[in-house]
A and B are shown apart, each in its own frame.
Chain A
């Protein structure tokens, strides 16, 4: 997980090169997405295996998807992530998600 200017993001280095960035917590039960498995353009949450597209954040069903942010690696190794103009990085959650005390 990366904290940048107050925003918390999950950032992934892909085996074939390139980076992806998403919201940090799973909409299902708040699992740490940064600890999930990735492959084939998908991300799997470690708590209950909910699966998301790393590009669009969609789940392929009616389940709530995740916010994704365009990201790339510069020649010198710097990672550049584009956040929305107001700087706040959205974090979607299932409507019934009860925050863990």
Chain B
């Protein structure tokens, strides 16, 4: 209801707790316009803004400054319209009157309450841990807050020998910090191995070895029964009666959720404050709990990622962005450094089920341990210590529940796989990822850290991947790694071109329906006023050719230079001319013509290409038509996004191992499909036997002759910047069938692939099973139409080099016009 000045009445949101979860939740709410919907009041125990608690061991180790760890300094609250009462503990909640009482005597009315009281350090009931006043004995510290940290640092100036009770992550990090301040340090742990919650025995031993090498002494299976000393601590006594002298003790024996406030208020509390998937406290209305104090589906979370997930879900709900947002619990995957040793853990640390598969590798001398636990073909746990090269792959598999490769060893190691799969995280910061534009991994990381969270955004800002484009896959991986997996969903990733918000099939459909016959008409109709993005024009021109064949208004200004002059532009502005030599089989006439033309035009370089033909390099643009006329050979299309070549090996013509006539099939395929428009280049090969001398298994489409003169068909192979072995699509009985199936698959690819998406990506994206079902088994009844469509494209094919005699535009081949 409107207030006195007519403004809409904002609901009152009170947040108890200004720690990492509380402040993050408020931040997420503010980011979603929550400050307009709510009057937000935050009550925090500690007298500061919100700081990164995880960085406290670094402050102790003097590797970070206390000022530098603040996530939300005090000004942030004022700047965002949030009222913060810092250093004012809350003393009570009345859930019926809907008020909160604070230690200063104030009463805060709420419509919505969020409890984010976090946890406190657990102090075990050790004799002598507290003095007569109930305070911790002088020299004894818990390590939870910035104040604890400051007090420890002050005490450590005078101390010489510290004991850390608790050998978990915090204990080990604290020990390392104190060691760095010049103290002798002993770590005392009740369990039989350090980090017993995250690590199984083998990896824990490796870690213990590393700690010892650092200079820490570790005492396992030791329970502390008493702290000695009156005015100040002077030693520990263990359960076996032994004693350890020391003048400083840090207790890091775990944390307990702060639930007292909630319990006294009558809210449902078990180990933590019980909440449902909506993060509302059980049986309450408008009272929520998030963070370490909350118990969800029986779990308490102490890692930051689940807590921030909870914060986001709650913000989505409360601001109405997504009123149905639910929290379903988090899969725990963490990557951290403990005492300089890299460690990643996810899920289970040991097998729990009789059928759990465990694959383990242990190399203690190098400090390396890797293990994975697999159940029903899915990853349910993994531990990596000392060598994190597979961490991105495993975290993805863990997160998405992907079905794992049968050869389990490939979960731990890269065995001759594509180099791109080898950890992007391991690359040095100055590794050049994009060669065309000189963009390093560090530059990409900086861009992501500055807030750009989509691959496309990073590419636009840094120019990485916008040159030849062959590094795009790696750029995307670096972006994903730098964003810690938290990429923004980019709907434009599914569009055929980013400037038109439609997928390729939708665009093709629309073009046919509305009879759009030119790129400029297409842009006018669909680009939503975004204008004619010049980089999209060749993609749209390709789409036009695919849909209409030659029957469209071929605006030459929409073509890339290579397609305007039908030759490949080189770095100095000259061109490469490669005439068609089908199947890599030539004759003396062609060779003589090539030699004569090379001489006549003083061609600087004659090269044999990987596609098994001959390249005349350094031809000037204005000489191109004359060169083509003299050669009298059709274009080899070595410069365009089209069907390119079919490499062959000799086969039954002469080879003593030949099982099939590879040259005949190769020439036939090349002659039939030459020059056909496609979303990216298509490179083929035919091999006369499985020895595969023409490399057919790493081609977009490849045929390999097998026993019985049958042809095994491979798709999605590559051997360029990306290396991938093709998938076997099917085996054909005759050469006729091979030709038909090649055409049908290529047509399917032409209609569904994104611009510049090679088959090696396309096949992975769609999946070979799906392609087989549609193309080979004709599940959807599309086969006949695909066959007819590619035939239509073939019928419309014209050799572009005939433009030598009939140029398409007046100065098509002119370099410079005008007077000197």
Write the residues of chain A forming the contact surface with B, with a CB cutoff of 8 angstroms: 1-4, 6, 8, 15, 28-32, 35-44, 46-51, 61, 63, 100
Residue of B537, B569, B573, B815 near A37 (CB, 8 A) is B537
Q: Decide: A48 and B468 in contact? CB cutoff 8 A.
A: yes
Question: Do residues A38 and B573 form an inter-chain contact, with CB atoms below 8 A?
Answer: no
In the complex, are the beta carbons of B463 and A50 less than 8 A apart?
yes
B625 contacts chain A at the CB level, 8 A cutoff: no
Within 8 A of A (CB), among B518-577: 520, 530-538, 555, 557-558, 560-562, 564, 569, 571-573
Which residues of chain A are near B571, meaning CB under 8 Å?
29-31, 47, 100
Interface string of B444-488 (1 = CB under 8 A from A): 000000000000000001110011100000000000000000000
Partner of B818, one of A2, A36, A48: A2
Q: Which residues of A contact B530 (CB under 8 A)?
A: 40
> B residues 31-86 with Cβ under 8 Å of A?
none
The answer to whether A48 and B437 touch across the interface, beta carbons within 8 angstroms, is yes
Q: A44-B535, A48-B468 are in contact. List 19 more A-B contacts (CB 8 A).
A: A1-B815, A2-B818, A4-B819, A15-B520, A15-B557, A28-B437, A31-B573, A32-B569, A35-B573, A36-B561, A37-B561, A39-B536, A41-B531, A42-B534, A43-B534, A50-B463, A51-B534, A100-B571, A100-B572
Determine whether B436 belongs to the interface, using a CB cutoff of 8 Å to chain A.
yes
- Report whether B573 and A48 are in contact in the complex, using a CB–CB cutoff of 8 Å: no
On whether the beta carbons of A40 and B820 are closer than 8 Å, the reply is no
Question: With an 8 A cutoff between CB atoms, is B817 at the interface?
Answer: yes
Interface of A is mostly: loop
**Bound Cα distance from A61 to B818, whole angstroms:** 34
Q: Are B816 and A39 in contact (CB under 8 A)?
A: no
A57 to chain B, nearest CB (A): 15
Instruction: Decide yes or no: A8 and B816 within 8 Å by CB, A15-B520, A39-B531 being known contacts.
Output: yes
Partner of A46, one of B466, B560, B815: B560
* Cβ–Cβ contact B816 & A3, under 8 A: yes
| B560 neighbours in A (Cβ, 8 Å) | 37, 46
Please tell me if the beta carbons of B538 and A2 are within 8 angstroms of each other in the complex.
no
Q: Are B468 and A44 in contact (CB under 8 A)?
A: no
What are the residues of chain B within 8 A of A32 when measuring CB–CB?
569, 573
In the assembled complex, the CB of A32 is this many whole angstroms from the nearest CB of chain B, namely: 4
Considering only residues 248-282 of chain B, those with a C-beta below 8 Å from chain A are none
Among A6, A15, A49, A51, chain B packs the most CB atoms within 10 A around the CB of A49
> A1-B816, A3-B818, A100-B571 are contacts. A39–B532 as well, Cβ < 8 Å?
yes
Task: Kindly report which residue of chain B lies nearest to residue A44, judged by CB atoms.
Answer: B534
* 6 A-B residue pairings within 8 Å (CB atoms): A2-B817, A3-B820, A15-B520, A47-B571, A61-B461, A63-B463
The chain B residues found within 8 Å of chain A, CB to CB, are 436-437, 461-463, 466-468, 520, 530-538, 555, 557-558, 560-562, 564, 569, 571-573, 815-820
Which single residue of chain A is at the shortest CB-CB distance from B565?
A35
- Give A31 to B689 CA distance when docked, in angstroms: 45
B816 contact set on A, CB distance < 8 A: 1-3, 8
Closest to B462 in A: A61
The interface residues of chain A lying within 8 Å CB-to-CB of B535 are 37, 44, 49, 51
Least CB separation from B570: chain A residue: A47
Contact: A40 with B531, CB < 8 Å? yes
For B466, the closest partner residue in chain A by CB is: A49
Do the beta carbons of A49 and B467 come within 8 Å of each other? yes
Question: Chain B contacts of A39 at CB under 8 A?
Answer: 531-534, 536-537
- Most chain B CB atoms below 10 A, which of A6, A31, A37: A37
* Distance A3 CA – B573 CA, assembled complex (angstroms): 17
Query: Could you tell me if B533 and A48 are in contact, using CB atoms closer than 8 angstroms?
Result: no
Whole-angstrom distance from the CB of A13 to the nearest CB of chain B? 8
A4/B818 in contact, CB under 8 A? yes
Whole-angstrom distance between the Cβ of B679 and the nearest chain A Cβ: 18
The answer on a CB contact under 8 Å between B557 and A38 is yes
Complex contacts, B536 vs chain A, CB 8 Å: 39
Bound form: Cα–Cα A41–B530 in Å: 11
- Is there contact, CB below 8 Å, between A46 and B817? no
CB distance from A15 to the nearest CB of B (A): 6
Q: How far is the CB of B518 from chain A (nearest CB, A)?
A: 10
Whole-angstrom distance between the Cβ of B560 and the nearest chain A Cβ: 6
When the two chains form their complex, are residues A38 and B819 in contact, meaning their CB atoms are under 8 A apart? no
In the bound complex, what is the Cα–Cα distance between A43 and B571 (angstroms)?
A: 18
Q: Which of A2, A28, A46 interacts with B561 by CB under 8 Å? A: A46
* Bound Cα distance A86, B520 (Å): 39
Residues of chain B within 8 A of A3, CB atoms compared? 816-820
B621 to chain A, nearest CB (A): 8
A47, B818: Cβ atoms closer than 8 Å: no
**A25 vs B537: C-alpha distance in the bound complex, in angstroms?**
22
Residues B533 and A40 in contact, CB atoms below 8 Å apart: yes
CB distance B569 to A46 under 8 Å? yes
Measured between C-beta atoms, what is the minimum distance from B104 to chain A in Å?
52
Residues of A within 8 A of B557 (CB): 15, 37-38
Cα distance, A51 to B459, chains bound together (Å): 13
CB A64 to nearest CB in B, in angstroms, measures 12
**B537, B562, B818 interface centre (most CB from chain A within 10 Å):** B818
For the complex of A and B, list the 4 residue pairs with the smallest distance between their C-beta atoms, beginning with the closest. Answer: A39-B532, A40-B531, A39-B534, A48-B467
Cβ of B820 and Cβ of A6 under 8 Å apart?
A: yes
The docked-state distance in angstroms from the alpha carbon of A61 to that of B534 is 18
- Report if A48-B531 is in contact (Cβ < 8 Å); known contacts: A6-B820, A61-B463: no
Cα A47 to Cα B532 in complex, Å, equals 20
CA distance in complex: A36, B436 (Å): 16
User: Known: A8-B816, A15-B520. Is A35-B534 also a contact (CB below 8 A)?
Assistant: no
Nearest CB of B to A38, in Å:
6
